[in-house]
């Protein structure tokens, strides 16, 4: 892998950090657990240097571990972890939605096949209990192109991307996208890969701030680095947004007198955090403490336009 793409990825995919808000009620997803059906249509972006073919029909993953980094009493402290991972979800048979900063550093990118597309593949069923030595090759999809990605440093603060896979995904349904505005008292949930770990469900979250002048809103979803690109659901299991960031900027903080870290924690109002950001000027368009969710409407429009263009292109090539 070339050095420049790696450097860009390191800068770009670490944007999302936040904390535990209230009680840590995250659920590790596996067959039969809450969220499993929805998780079938979610995926993790894994660096191509972290997997290789093994026996015919299988691949082998090369994850790290959170053990030693997280203090042993913290939840999921012994979990495997894919470095520099992002989350994503299926919105059409061959299209993945994710956070813009997972696929572009800043600004906009269209029809890109180098750098991020070249560096990442998308893996489905990365869940609790996975055998990393024997992962079905059919669950891994290469990136054909980044159809569009945007990461705004200023208004309107857009942060979303649409990625075309190398082939249509079989046996999984695109997630339904919410058709309208977000009700103010909606209960939210999210499926993603905090710290590059197997899929986790964060649930029973609320909206802290819904600023209609922005492309995003602020919630109490428990999220960390690696959750960037996670699907955020309403109470009807429709996707209403994409997890793109959050504050505090330190999701993990040192444990006093020890060489390990603990989760940063805030209360359910986003206050009384164990560690706070004293200088918020470093955050473009800072709103308040909480996890930031990109509204799904712009991504939905982009997907529909792209599919229409593809249909028209296919029709024009027929004899």
Could you give the domains of the chain?
3-15+30-177 (2.40.10.10)
Residue 2: partners with Cβ closer than 8 Å, 6 or more residues away: none
pTM over 0.85: yes
Write out the chain's pLDDT in tens, 319 residues: 333 344 444 444 446 689 999 999 999 999 999 999 999 999 999 999 999 999 899 999 999 999 999 999 999 999 999 999 999 999 999 999 999 999 999 999 999 999 999 999 999 999 999 999 999 999 999 999 999 999 998 888 999 999 999 999 999 999 999 998 888 889 999 999 999 999 999 999 999 999 988 999 999 999 999 999 999 999 999 999 999 999 999 999 999 999 999 999 999 999 999 999 998 888 878 899 999 999 999 999 999 999 999 888 877 665 5
**Sign of the dihedral defined by the CA atoms of residues 7, 9, 12, 18, in that order:** negative
**DSSP class per residue in 279-305:** -GGGSTT---SEEEEEESHHHHHHHHH
CA distance 286 to 211: 12
Give the pair of three-digit tokens for residue 184: 């103010």
Q: Could you tell me if 16 and 216 are in contact, meaning their C-beta atoms sit under 8 angstroms apart?
A: no
Residue 102: partners with Cβ closer than 8 Å, 6 or more residues away: 12, 13, 45, 86, 88, 116, 149, 161, 228, 229
């Amino acid at each position: 892998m070339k050095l420049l793409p790696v450097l860009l990825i390191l800068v770009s995919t670490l944007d999302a950090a936040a904390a535990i808000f209230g009680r840590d009620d995250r659920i590790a997803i596996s067959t039969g657990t809450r969220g499993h059906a929805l998780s079938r249509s979610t995926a993790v972006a894994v660096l191509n240097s972290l997997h290789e073919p093994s026996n015919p029909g299988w691949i082998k993953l090369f994850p790290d571990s959170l053990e030693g980094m997280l203090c042993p009493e913290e939840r999921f402290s012994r979990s495997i972890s894919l470095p520099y991972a992002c989350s994503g979800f299926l919105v059409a048979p061959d299209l993945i939605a994710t956070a813009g900063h997972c696929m572009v550093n800043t600004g906009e990118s269209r029809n890109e096949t180098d750098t991020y597309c070249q560096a990442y593949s998308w893996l489905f069923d990365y869940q609790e209990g996975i055998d990393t030595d024997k992962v079905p090759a059919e669950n891994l999809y290469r990136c054909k192109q980044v159809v569009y990605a945007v990461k705004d440093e200023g208004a309107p603060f857009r942060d979303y991307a649409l990625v075309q896979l190398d082939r249509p995904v079989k046996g999984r349904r695109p997630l339904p996208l919410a058709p309208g505005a977000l009700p103010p008292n909606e209960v939210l949930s999210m499926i993603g890969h905090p710290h590059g770990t197997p899929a986790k469900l964060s649930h029973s979250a609320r909206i802290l701030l819904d600023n209609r002048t922005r492309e995003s809103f602020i919630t109490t979803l428990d999220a960390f680095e690696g959750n960037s690109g996670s699907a955020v659901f309403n109470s009807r299991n429709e996707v209403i947004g994409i997890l793109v960031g959050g504050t505090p900027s330190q999701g993990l903080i040192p444990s006093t007198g020890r060489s390990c870290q603990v989760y940063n924690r805030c209360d359910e109002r986003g206050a009384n955090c164990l560690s706070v950001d004293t200088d918020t000027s470093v955050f473009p368009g800072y709103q308040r403490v909480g996890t930031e969710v990109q509204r799904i409407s712009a991504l939905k429009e982009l997907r529909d336009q792209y599919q229409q263009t593809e249909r028209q292109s296919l029709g024009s090539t027929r004899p």
